[in-house]
Amino acid sequence: MNCVYVLFSDRKKRTYVGVTGNPRFRLGFHNQGLVPSTNYGRPWRILVEIWFDTQTAALDFERYLKSGSGKAFMYRHFISSFARP
């Protein structure tokens, strides 16, 4: 559970940030509609996977990306570069 991942919905032009140990497996849950908070934007695709040595570091970075300044960082560095069809 040391990977922070950023999903992008081309359909809704929205992002989702989460933490898992297996991002590809977790993506399946999101695209099958098994995660209520991402059911609206299917299909999702993984934009970024960032791996950490510890679970604490991963959770701290996830929390940062969900903050105001973290969202600005994410859009500046991840979304503008990768969120193109």
Q: What is the CATH number of the domain that holds 47?
A: 3.40.1440
pTM: 0.89
The Cα-based distances of 79 to 13, 26, 63, 76 in angstroms read 10, 20, 18, 6
Per residue in 67-80, pLDDT tens? 999 999 998 888 87
Domain that holds residue 70: 3-82
The domain total for the chain is: 1
First CA to last CA distance, the chain: 29
Per residue in 22-55, pLDDT tens? 999 999 999 999 999 999 999 999 999 999 999 9
